Amino acid sequence: MIMNLILWILLGALAGWIASKIMNTDAQMGAVANIVVGIIGAFLGGWVIQLLTGADVNEFSIMGLLTAVLGAVILLAIVKAFTGKSAHRV
């Protein structure tokens, strides 16, 4: 159980970091923010993929990582839209 939690945190951190690079917000985000964005993005991405395709992507795989990155990018875009900040502030 502990190992599974650690793996989810690592996947979230990786997904959040990749998404912050894509959205050009990495300079203002730290490791904790990347983990939080990645984990919330994984839930959001999983919901979007399931809504669009009906597929369940709750596994450690490349598709799971891509789903988490997609969700994290969507999350960062929403945050940027509501805060009205430039691409360099989240």
Instruction: Report yes or no on whether pTM surpasses 0.85.
Output: no
Of 52, 48, 53, residue with least CA distance to 74: 48
pLDDT digits (tens, 9 = 90+) for 9-23: 888 888 889 998 998
Taking the C-alpha atoms of residue 22 and residue 19, their distance in angstroms, rounded to an integer, is: 5
Check whether 78 has a pLDDT greater than 80.
yes
Can you tell me the distance from the alpha carbon of 20 to that of 29, in angstroms, rounded to the nearest whole number? 8
* C-alpha span between 40 and 72 (Å, rounded): 7
If one counts every other C-beta atom within 10 angstroms of the C-beta of residue 3, the result is 7
| The pLDDT value given to residue 2 | 80
Size (the chain), residues: 90
Q: How far is CA 79 from CA 23, 32, 45, 49, in A?
A: 11, 17, 15, 20
Tell me: the pLDDT tens digits for 7-59? Answer: 878 888 888 899 989 988 877 777 788 888 888 888 888 888 888 887 776 66
**Token digits of residue 76:** 């960062």
